[in-house]
A and B are shown apart, each in its own frame.
Chain A
Amino acid sequence: MTATLKERAATLAALPVEFLFRALETPLAFVQRLVGVRGMPWVFLLPNLAFFGIFVVIPLFINFAFSLTGGTALYPSDRVYAGTEQYAFLFDCENFADPITCREDRFWKGIYNTAVFIFFQVSFLVLFSLVTALVLNMKIRARGFFRAVFFFPVLLSPVVVALIWKWILLRDGLLNAFLVSLGLDKILFFVSPEWAMFWAIFVSIWAHMGFYTLILLAGLQAIPPDLYEAAEVDGTSRERVFFRITLPLLWPNLLVVIVLALIKGVQIFDEVFVLTGGGPGTATQFIVQYIYNTAFTQQVQNFGLAAAASVVLGTVLFVLTLTQLAVTRKRDNG
C-alpha cells in the first residue's frame, strides 16, 4: 500500500469528524475549567459509557428480569412475575437427547441443530483454514492474489452470501445442471433436511474461512525461519517438519481459532436464515432463530421465554469467551 493512498483514506474518514472537533473545542475548554484536568478522563469516557450502559449493561439486567416474568406485554411493569417458570418450561424434557420428548421441542431442536452444526462447521472450518494457511505460507507465486481470493467472502454480507449460493442450489440452478450433465438426477437441496444442513455448514465455511486463515497465516509467519532452515540442512522431510515444528508452534493460534469459531458458530443465524429460512421444517433452525421467532415473529410474542433462552445462550457464550481470553492470554505470553 502506498503512503498516499493510506493518507487519502485516513483524511477522507476523518473529514466529517474534524468539523465536530472544532465545534466542541470551546464547550470542552469550559468543562475542563469546571472539573479540572483530573476530571477530564471521565468526561472523555462519558459518551462511550453512556452507550454501554443504555444498550448493553442495563439490557443485560432487564434480560434476567424478563426471563423471570410471563405474559405478552413488552413493558416490564405490565408483566407478571413468574419465577423460574420459563426456565422450567424450557427444561421440561423426558429425554434431553431427543427433542420430541421436550415440552418446548423447538428450543431443543434448535440446540440439537446448533450442536450438529458447530461440530461439523468448526471442525471443517479449522481444517480448511489450516490447509489454506499452510498453502499460502509456501513459496508460491502471486501469493497476495490467492490470499485475496480466499479472504474476500469474509467481507460479503450474510444476505449476499446466502443469495449467491441459493441461486446456485435451486432446482434449476448451476449445480443441478452440472449433476444432470454427469447423468445424475436433480437434487432438491432445500427439501431434504440432510442436504439443507450440509449446505448451511458449507456456505458458512465458505463465507468465514478467510478470516481464520488470516489469523493462522499470521501465526505461521511468526514462526522463526531459522528453525525451518536448520531442518532443511538436516534433510528433515516436510511431513516431519510439519508435525515437529509447524504444528506445535502454531498450536496456541489454532486454539484461539477454534474457540473463536465456536463463539461465532453458537450464534449462527444470518446466512442460514436467508438460505434455508430454518427449513425444511425446523431442520436448520438454530438457537438464535428460536429466540428471534419466539420474541418477534410469533402471533403471541413470548418475550419472557425468549429472554430465558437468551440467558441460556449467554451462559454458553460466557463460558466460551472466558476460555477464549484464557487461551489468547496464554498465546500472547508465550
Chain B
Amino acid sequence: MAEAGTLRPGLKGLLTARRGRGGKRHWTDWFAYLYLLLGVVLMFGPVVWLTLSSFKTPAGLVEFPPTMLPLGQIAVEVEGHDKPLPLYRVTMEDGTTRELAQIRRIGIISQMVDPAAPGETLKVPIAQREPVREFRMAWENYRDPLERFDFVKYFWNSVIVTAVATIITLLINSMAAYALSIYEFRGRNAIMLLVIGTLMIPITVILVPVYLVVTQLNMVNTLWAVILPGAATPTGVFLLRQYMLTIPRDLIDAARMDKASEWSIYWRVVMPLAMPAIAVLAIFSVMWRWNEFLWPLIVLNRSEVYTLQVGLNAFQGELDVQWHYILAMTVVTLIPVVLVFAFLQRFITTGIANAGMK
C-alpha cells in the first residue's frame, strides 16, 4: 500500500476508492470474499434446502442420503396395461442395462416388461433394479394441507391479526406521538417517561397478569386477545414523535389561522408529512405481528383461532410428524415476509439503523 501511495501521491482519492487493486492484495481482501461466500451458503443454503425439500414426496423425504432435487419416478404407458407402469433401470445377467417397466412385484422378484416390446414378461430380482427418476415437484404437498387441513384458516387468522393490529397501532401511536410532539403541556415529560418506562416491560415479564386481563375481558380464544395487548407500542410512539418533532411549526400555525380543527391538523397536515416514519412503523408492525409466537401460543388454545405460527408449531409437535406438509406450509408462511423484504428492504434497514428497533 505504501509503495502505491508514494508512486501516485496525486491520486489519493482514486487509491482509497479502489484500495488494494494497484498493489498487493491484503489478507483481509481474501478473507472478506471467503467470508461472504461462506455467508451466502450458510444464510441462503438452509432456506433453499427447505424450499427444495418442500417439493419432495414423503418417500423422497425419508431417503438417505437425501437427493438434491425433488425427484419422481417416471411412469410409462405400456400396451395391454390400464395404468401407467413405473420405469426401472435393470442390470441384466449379462451385465447390460435395460429400461423396463414393472408390472407387479412378488416378494424379491419383480415382473417386468420392456415398453418397446410389450409381449414378453421378464422376471428380475428387485436388487438389480433401480427406479428411473426425473425432476418433479410434488405440488400436492401444498395443495393437500390447503384443502384438507385448517391452514387456510390459520393463514386468514394471521392476516386479520396483522392487518387489524397494524391499523390500530398506527392510529393510536401516531395520535400519541402527535400530542407529545406538537403541544407544550403540563405532564408531557411525565408521559414521555411512562412511554420509555413501558419500553422496559416486554410481554415476557407480565405473561400471567395480561392473561388475567384478557380472561377478564372475555377475549381468550379470540383474535382480539392477540391484537389488543401489543397495540400501543412504546417504540412506535417514540419513533413517530422523533420524526414529528422535525415538522416546521409554521405549517401548524398557518392551519390554525385557517381555523382548522386540531383533528384535521393531525390527519391532514402532520400525518402526510410523517408518512416516511409511519411507513417504517407499518412495516415493523406487520413483521412483529406476522411472526408473533409466545403470546398467541398462550391465549389461543383452540385450533380454529390459531395463527399460522401457532398452527405450524402444533403441526410439528404431533406424534406422527408429516414433514412433507410442514415443509410446504413453512414455505407458505415465509412467502409474505420474503415479498415484504424484497420490496421494502431499504425502509427496513434504515428503520433499524436509525431507531435500533426490532
Residue B35 at the chain A interface, CB threshold 8 Å:
yes
Q: Is the CB of A274 within 8 A of B298?
A: no
Most buried by B among A45, A54, A295, A296: A45
Q: Is the CB of A51 within 8 A of B206?
A: no
Interface extent on B, as a size class? Answer: 35 or more
By a CB distance below 8 angstroms, the chain A residues around B16 are: 225, 228-229, 232
Cα–Cα, bound, A67→B191 (Å):
28
B288 to nearest A CB, angstroms? 10
Q: Is the CB of A57 within 8 A of B198?
A: yes
Give chain A interface residues in 59-76, CB to chain B under 8 Å: 59-60, 62-63, 66, 74-76
Q: Is the CB of A310 within 8 A of B228?
A: no
Give chain B interface residues in 337-358, CB to chain A under 8 Å: 337-338, 340-341, 343-349, 352-354, 356, 358
One of B262, B279, B352 near A215 (C-beta < 8 A): B352
B279 to nearest A CB, angstroms? 5
Residue B92 at the chain A interface, CB threshold 8 Å:
no
Residue B290 at the chain A interface, CB threshold 8 Å:
yes
Q: Is the CB of A168 within 8 A of B49?
A: yes
Give chain B interface residues in 268-317, CB to chain A under 8 Å: 271, 275-276, 278-279, 282, 287, 290-291, 293-294, 297-298, 309, 312-313, 316-317
Contact with A along B165-203 (1 / 0, CB 8 A): 011001111011011101101001001001110111110
Residue A288 at the chain B interface, CB threshold 8 Å:
yes
Residue B116 at the chain A interface, CB threshold 8 Å:
no
Q: Is the CB of B206 within 8 A of A59?
A: yes
Pick from B62-70, B72-80, B93-101 the stretch touching chain A.
B62-70
Q: Is the CB of B32 within 8 A of A138?
A: yes
A174 to nearest B CB, angstroms? 6
Supposing A58-B209, A228-B16, A235-B2 touch, asked if A270 and B294 sit within 8 A by C-beta, the answer is: yes
One of A37, A155, A206 near B348 (C-beta < 8 A): A155
Q: Is the CB of B213 within 8 A of A59?
A: yes
By a CB distance below 8 angstroms, the chain B residues around A74 are: 211-212, 215
Interface extent on A, as a size class? Answer: 35 or more
Q: Is the CB of B279 within 8 A of A25?
A: no
Q: Is the CB of A157 within 8 A of B293?
A: yes
Chain B residue, CB-CB nearest to A322: B200
Residue B102 at the chain A interface, CB threshold 8 Å:
no
One of B201, B230, B343, B356 near A5 (C-beta < 8 A): B343
Q: Is the CB of B66 within 8 A of A174?
A: yes
By a CB distance below 8 angstroms, the chain B residues around A274 are: 293, 313, 316
One of B206, B327, B347 near A167 (C-beta < 8 A): B327
Q: Is the CB of A229 within 8 A of B12?
A: yes
By a CB distance below 8 angstroms, the chain B residues around A90 are: none
Residue B246 at the chain A interface, CB threshold 8 Å:
no
One of B209, B293, B327, B330 near A270 (C-beta < 8 A): B293
By a CB distance below 8 angstroms, the chain A residues around B340 are: 155
Q: Is the CB of A269 within 8 A of B19?
A: no
One of A135, A139, A303 near B17 (C-beta < 8 A): A139
Q: Is the CB of A172 within 8 A of B66?
A: yes
Residue A214 at the chain B interface, CB threshold 8 Å:
yes
Chain A residue, CB-CB nearest to B301: A296
Q: Is the CB of B330 within 8 A of A295?
A: no
One of B53, B65, B293 near A177 (C-beta < 8 A): B65
One of A20, A164, A321 near B171 (C-beta < 8 A): A20
A314 to nearest B CB, angstroms? 4
- The 20 listed contacts between A and B (C-beta, < 8 Å) are A5-B343, A13-B170, A45-B175, A48-B172, A58-B209, A59-B206, A60-B205, A140-B36, A146-B36, A146-B40, A163-B326, A168-B46, A177-B65, A211-B352, A235-B1, A267-B202, A269-B294, A291-B208, A295-B208, A306-B208
Residues of A within 8 A of B (CB): 1, 5-6, 9-10, 13-14, 16-18, 20-21, 24-25, 28-29, 32, 37-38, 40-45, 47-49, 51-52, 54-60, 62-63, 66, 74-76, 131-132, 135, 138-140, 146-160, 163-168, 172-174, 176-177, 180-181, 206, 211, 214-215, 217-218, 225, 228-229, 232-233, 235, 237-238, 256, 260, 267, 269-270, 274, 277, 288, 291-292, 295-296, 303, 306-307, 310, 313-314, 317-318, 321, 325, 328
Residues of B within 8 A of A (CB): 1-2, 5, 12, 15-19, 26, 28-29, 31-33, 35-36, 39-40, 42-44, 46-47, 49-50, 53, 62, 64-66, 163, 166-167, 170-173, 175-176, 178-180, 182-183, 185, 188, 191, 194-196, 198-202, 204-213, 215, 228-232, 234, 237, 261-264, 266-267, 271, 275-276, 278-279, 282, 287, 290-291, 293-294, 297-298, 309, 312-313, 316-317, 323, 326-327, 330, 333-334, 337-338, 340-341, 343-349, 352-354, 356, 358
